[in-house]
């Protein structure tokens, strides 16, 4: 079984079980994990960046590669946790040995584990998208849903107004402020992260992307992102690239009734300082991703292939007899 629903109730049950175990007369031995199993990946997924497509791969592989997948389901999809929930979450991720190796995913802002005295930090990964394309996708998703759960009634269902019409009438759902999402997701749980248009938040998001994330891909080049993850973390992603190319689930979720915006609508949004900052962050992430990819793969006859190990050791002393 590799799917677990990580809700407040589940956390409470886990904490109760820990207390019961401590008070058992004969006790239980601690779970001893191999180093390769004492690993946790957190994918704090940004909405409408192909996150469901990527997460489906983790679900498809977890049984074969023997790891656990846990969905972080926050109330009303609030990406900011209360302080007490932050403590609970860090405790579970670091000490829940039965759930290791683990792949956690959910719409949650970056959380700095070092603030809580954790002994071992998780591996963060993420995917981001062109900010206007992400907003347009989300706009239509709220109205028409997708082919993942077509029967589910969405919040704006029944509203037939196109994105272009929304922009022309200066509607709230297509306002530039709605672009402010990828920066705060990477910035984290500080109040300034959610101050729309904050230059400090942008710089903090860049810092975290470089220093706290193993790899951040882009929606437009998702296959390359998956291929590099498989090379770097085969314990989790062995077989992921082939599954993405041939599997049906990986391409499952597509927003229905989406109409590309006109050049006029795009130009209007691009006048905003908020778009300029979100786009600066996106371009920063894209450049970093392409830099990593350039040092990891090569193209031959139209196909990408991973470079073999390109370092070795020499002059090893003292000499072995």
CA–CA separation, 112 and 81 (whole Å)? 12
pLDDT band at residue 143 under the 50/70/90 scheme = confident
How far CA 250 is from CA of 104, 129, 218, in Å, comes to 18, 17, 16
Q: Are strands 213-218 and 303-306 parallel, antiparallel or unpaired?
A: unpaired
Q: Is residue 68 annotated as a catalytic residue, yes or no? A: no
6, β-bridge pairs: 72
Q: Is residue 251 annotated as a catalytic residue, yes or no? A: no
Q: Mean of the pLDDT values across residues 201-230?
A: 97
Q: Which of 5, 68, 107, 295 is catalytic?
A: 107
What percent of the chain clears pLDDT 70, i.e. is strictly above it? 83
Q: Tell me: pLDDT of 18 over 80.
A: no
The mean pLDDT value of the chain amounts to 87
Q: Which of 23, 68, 105, 189 is catalytic?
A: 105
Q: Tell me: pLDDT of 297 over 80.
A: yes
């Amino acid at each position: 079984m590799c799917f677990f629903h990580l809700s407040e109730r589940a956390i409470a049950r886990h904490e109760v079980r820990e207390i019961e175990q401590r008070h058992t007369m004969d006790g239980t031995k601690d779970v001893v994990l191999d180093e390769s199993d004492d690993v946790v990946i957190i994918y704090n997924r940004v909405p409408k960046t192909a996150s469901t497509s990527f997460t489906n791969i983790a679900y498809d592989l977890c049984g074969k590669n023997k790891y656990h997948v846990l969905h972080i389901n926050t109330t009303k999809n609030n990406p900011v946790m209360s302080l007490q929930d932050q403590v609970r979450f860090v405790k579970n991720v670091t000490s829940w040995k039965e759930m290791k190796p683990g792949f956690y995913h959910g719409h949650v802002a970056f959380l700095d584990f070092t603030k809580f005295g954790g002994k071992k930090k998780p591996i963060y990964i993420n995917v981001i998208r062109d900010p206007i394309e992400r907003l347009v996708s989300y706009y239509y998703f709220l109205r028409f849903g997708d082919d993942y759960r077509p029967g589910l009634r969405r919040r704006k269902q029944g509203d037939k107004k196109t994105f272009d019409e929304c922009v022309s009438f200066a509607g709230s759902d297509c306002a530039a402020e709605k672009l402010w999402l990828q920066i705060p997701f990477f910035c984290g749980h500080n109040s300034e992260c959610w101050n729309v248009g904050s230059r400090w938040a942008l710089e903090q998001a860049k810092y975290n992307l470089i220093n706290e994330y193993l790899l951040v891909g882009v929606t437009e080049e998702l296959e390359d992102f998956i291929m590099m993850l498989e090379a770097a973390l085969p314990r989790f992603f062995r077989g992921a690239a082939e599954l993405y190319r041939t599997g049906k689930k990986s391409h499952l979720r597509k927003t229905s009734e989406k109409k590309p915006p006109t050049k006029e609508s795009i130009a209007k949004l691009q006048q905003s300082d908020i778009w300029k900052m979100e786009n600066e962050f996106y371009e920063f992430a894209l450049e970093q991703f392409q830099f990593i990819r350039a040092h990891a793969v090569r193209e031959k006859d139209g196909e990408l292939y991973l470079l073999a190990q390109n370092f070795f050791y020499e002059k090893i002393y003292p000499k072995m007899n």
